Amino acid sequence: MRILVLGGDGYLGWPTAMYLSENGHDVAVADNFVRRQYDYELGVESLVPIATLQQRIKLWKEITGRDMAMYVGDLTKADFVYHMVGTFQPDAIVHFAEQRSAPYSMIDREHAVYTQVNNVVGNMNVLYALAEINPDIHLIKLGSMGEYGTPNIDIEEGFIEIEHNGRSDLLPFPKMPGSFYHLSKVHDSNNIHFACRNWGLRSTDLNQGVVYGVETEQTKKHPDLATRLDYDSVFGTVLNRFCIEAVLGHPLTVYGRGEQIRGLLDIRDTVRCIEIAALNPPQAGEYRVFNQFTEEFSIKQLAELVARTWPGDSRVEYVDNPRTEALAHYYNAKNTKLVQLGLKPHWLSDTLLESLFGIVARHQNRINRDAINPSVNWRNPHNQPGRVGL
């Protein structure tokens, strides 16, 4: 298949592009490098050094003999999107290219507006390009399990059968997310669903849980094929952060009582899920949703697991929760569709954590310790992370 990976310079986009390329697909990647710009803004960088996208693509060709086309540009610019879709003519587009941090979206008005404009407008441009150039192209869009929030009922995969006053219907599952970032994903989902009904587009919305890990078979081929690993309180995600904190001897920063429950998955399952979705496209006009996570854990369980597995000293610290989220709640989300299509999950294991510890230890001199403690409080409409002297 011809597959265009939007956000191909990012944490998940780069390993996905290599995985698809190695499996015989013709892959192109697109990015505007804004993720690297957020690092400059916040005064941090990926724990694992990362090569430029140009270097990565050149090295990939040297090692595997496989070409990867590159498009540099911003999805919020419609001309760029139309040009790229029109010239590459993909069978499927994998759309990772959004501002993906909940804390970043909650810094202040400017960052909230930026997040929603970047994500919603970029996605709208992709939808219009598909409608005008080729509605047959399958849009595989990265959504988020956080779109649902934490309702006191089981979470279905996108749709729920509702009975009301003696009548019933299959309706989109209610959404009550916990950040302006997660809300941007809800807006995307609504826009994609409408575009499928209206123009007959075909799309898979992957409501993904929190991803952990940094290595895939492809990233391991050469240090310059590594993907980024974020540890700071704005972009670092919870399990990756706990592993890094353990190695540094920093207390594991559990927000609140740690009774929040989240769905998680290994980065090696992310790349496989994308290929499964691409190889099993929906019908024309169909909008389908897969819940893309493999296991559920409370945050406290994750911290205890890391503390137990790390051979050195490690302490769990319960810090005031900077976010507005349910402290303790019911959580039972369905995730059977990807498994039915052939996903064989990697379960979270001591071995995975031990390999992450090793990677962190190799690069720990690169860490800015000031960036670890939470710096964005949801209740404060004007946070200032990364600003020196304020």
Contacting residues toward ligand NAD, per CB under 6 A: 7, 9-13, 31-35, 74-76, 96-100, 118, 122, 142, 144, 208, 210-211, 237
Quote the least distance from Cβ 339 to ligand NAD, whole Å.
Answer: 18
| β-pair partners for 153 | none
Q: Which of 262, 268, 272, 288 touches ligand USQ by CB under 6 A?
A: 262
Range in contact with ligand USQ (rule: CB under 6 A) among 70-78, 202-210, 280-288, 307-315: 202-210
Q: Which residues contact 33 (CB under 8 A, 6 or more apart)?
A: 9, 53, 72
Q: Which of 16, 21, 32, 101 touches ligand USQ by CB under 6 A?
A: 101
Beta strands in 166-226 (DSSP E): 167-172, 202-208, 210-212
Q: What is the spatial distance between Cα 45 and Cα 202, in angstroms, rounded to a whole number?
A: 37
Instruction: Answer whether 292's CB lies under 8 Å from 357's CB.
Output: no
Q: What is the spatial distance between Cα 26 and Cα 276, in angstroms, rounded to a whole number?
A: 16
Q: Which of 196, 201, 238, 244 touches ligand USQ by CB under 6 A?
A: 238
Which is nearer to ligand USQ, 90 or 209 (by Cβ)?
209
Residue 334, number of CB atoms within 10 A of its CB: 13
Map the footprint of ligand USQ across residues 125-144, applying CB under 6 A. Answer: 144
Map the footprint of ligand USQ across residues 301-360, applying CB under 6 A. Answer: 323, 325
* Binding partner of residue 80 among ligand NAD, ligand USQ, none, CB cut-off 5 to 8 Å per kind: none
| Count of residues in the chain | 390
* Binding partner of residue 74 among ligand USQ, ligand NAD, none, CB cut-off 5 to 8 Å per kind: ligand NAD
Name the 3-class secondary structure at 176: coil
| β-pair partners for 170 | 161
Which is nearer to ligand NAD, 195 or 229 (by Cβ)?
229
Name the 3-class secondary structure at 254: strand
Tokens of 335: 């995730």
Is residue 241 a contact residue for ligand USQ (CB under 6 A)?
A: yes
Tokens of 370: 């000031």
List of residues contacting ligand USQ (CB under 6 A)? 100-102, 144-146, 182, 208-210, 237-238, 241, 253-255, 260, 262-263, 299, 323, 325
